[in-house]
Amino acid sequence: MLQDIIINGLVNGSIYALLAIGFSLIFGVARIVNIAHTAFYMLAAYFIYIGFHYLGAPPVLAIVLAVPATVLTALVCFRLFIDPIQEHEAAVLIATIALAMVIQEALLVVFGGHYLGVPPLISGYVELLGVRVTKQHVLALGFVLVALALVWVLLMRTRIGLAIRVTAQDREIANLMGMDVRRVAMVTMAVSVMLAAVAGAIVVPLTVLDPHMWMHPLIMMLAIVVLGGVGSVKGSLLGSFILGFAEALVVFLIPMGAFLKGSVALSIMILVLLIRPEGLFGVAFEEER
C-alpha cells in the first residue's frame, strides 16, 4: 500500500505542480488571477480527443498539435478580453470566470455531457518498488519531471526567464529599466497556458473527459497556491506534492471515503494557514503605519 501511495502521490502532485506553477507565474508577473487556467487544461484534453477521434491523427501527433493550439487560443483570449482591462484586477477576475464558463458551455454544446476518453500511448505494466504500475503512469510521471526541469531552465538560465523573475518581483522597476512589461506578460501567459496544456495532455489517457473536469483541479490549484504562498513558484511546487500525497493517503487508507480526498486536502491548507497565514513561502505584508 505504501508503494501505491508514493506512486499516486507523485503523479497527482506532479500534475498539480504544472497547473499551480503556471498559475503562480502569470499572477506574479501580471497580477492576473486566471480562473480560466484549468479550463485551458481541459481544452487541451478535448483538442487531443478531436485530433485522435475526428481527424484520425495518432495520439502523439494529436498531443503535439493540441498544446500550441491551446496556447494560441489562450493568447487570442488574453489579447481580446484580458489585456484591455488588465489594470482592473476585479474585472480581470470576473472576465476569467466568464471565459472559463464560456469554454465549459461550448464543450457541452458540442460534445454534450458524455464521458469521453483517449486510449493510452503505451499499454502494459512495470514493477516499481514491488508494485505493478501501468506504463502510462510511468510515462506521465517522466513527462511531468521533464516539463518541470524545462521550466526551471527557462526561469533560471534564460534572458526571458530573468525578465519574468524581475517583473514578478517589481513591475514598476522592470518598466523603469526599459523592459517591455506587456510583452513579458504575454510571454508569461503563453508559458503559463503551455504548462496547463501539457498537464491536460498528460492526464487525458489517465482519466475521462467531461465539460466539468476543470473544476476539481481549479479548487486544488487555488488551495496549493494559497498553501505555498501566492506568487511563489517554490511554494506552489511544495504545496502540490503535499496536497497530492494527502489525496493519495485518503484514497488508499479510507477506500470507502475516497470522495473526501478534496476535503482533507483543503483542511490541511486551512490548518497551515492558521499557523502561517501568508503560506509556506509567501511574504507577510504589514500595514503601513
Using one digit for the tens of pLDDT, what is the confidence trace for 223-280?
888 888 877 788 888 888 888 888 888 887 877 766 777 787 778 778 877 888 777 7
The more confident residue out of 62 and 173 is 62
Query: In a 3-state reduction of DSSP, which class is residue 24?
Result: helix
Give the residue from 182, 154, 157, 180 showing the smallest Cα distance to 21.
Answer: 154
pLDDT reported for residue 244: 86
Q: In this structure, which amino acid lies at residue 104?
A: Q
Residue 104 confidence class, pLDDT cut points 50, 70, 90:
very high
pLDDT reported for residue 269: 75
Over residues 158-164, the mean pLDDT reads 88
pLDDT reported for residue 101: 95
∠ CA 141-147-151, rounded to 5° = 145
Query: Does residue 46 have a pLDDT over 60?
Result: yes
Alpha carbon 148 to chain centroid, angstroms: 12
The three cell numbers locating residue 205:
489517457
- Residue 179: is it exposed, middle or buried by C-beta count within 10 angstroms (0-12/13-18/19+)? middle
Q: Cβ(16)–Cβ(221) under 8 Å?
A: yes
Query: Does residue 131 have a pLDDT over 80?
Result: no
Look up the pTM and report it: 0.87
Mean pLDDT of the chain: 85
- Alpha-carbon Rg for the chain in angstroms: 19
pLDDT reported for residue 243: 87
Alpha carbon 131 to chain centroid, angstroms: 28
DSSP-derived secondary structure letter, 121: S
Query: Does residue 213 have a pLDDT over 80?
Result: yes
The more confident residue out of 113 and 256 is 113
The three cell numbers locating residue 163:
525578465
